[in-house]
Structure 1
Amino acid sequence: MSSSRISCLALVSLLLAALPAAGQVADRPSSARPLLEQGVELLRKGEADQAEPLLRQAALAAPEDALVYFYLGSAQMAQSEYPDAASSLRRALRLNEVKPALGRANWREAQDNLGLALAFQQEYGQAKKVYEEALEKDPGYPAFSYNLACVCSRAGDRLGAIAALREALLADARQESGPTLPDPSVDQDLKGLLGDPRFQATLLVAIGPQPNDGPGSALMREGARLLSAGEDTAAEAKERAAIAAEPDSSRAWFFLGGALEEQNHLPEAAEAFGKALAADNPPGRVLSKPMRRHALMVEGMAALAKGQGEAAAGFFQAASALDPFHPMAFYDLGRAFALQGKMKEAAQAVRKAENLKDNLTAVEGPLPDPAKDPAFDRWSGNPAWQALLKGETAAPSSGSPKAPVR
Structure 2
Amino acid sequence: MVRILAIVALMLVALLGEHRIVKMVPFGDGNLKIVFAQDIAPLKWEVKKLQDNRHFIDFEANLTIPKRNFVFKDNSTLQVAQNTPQIVRIVINTQPKSQYEIIKEKENLYIFIKPKSTSSSTATQTTAPQNTATQKPNQTPQTQKTTDTKTESTQSKDKPQNDEVVIKDSISTTKKGKIGVGKKIVVDAGHGGKDCGTKSVEGICEKLIVLEVAKLLTQELKNRGYVVYMTRNSDVYIDLRKRTEFANGKNADLFVSIHANSMPKDSPKTPKGVETYFLSPARSERAEQVAKAENQGDIETMSHFATKSFLNTISSFHLVASHKLAIEIQSGILNIVRQTHNTHDGAVREGPFWVLAGALMPSVLIEIGYASHKDEGKLIAKKEYQKLLAKGIADGIDGYFLRNY
TM-score of the superposed pair, with normalisation by structure 2: 0.24
Structure having greater relative contact order (Cα 8 Å, sep ≥ 6): 2
Find the structure with the greater CA-based Rg: 1
TM-score of the superposed pair, with normalisation by structure 1: 0.24
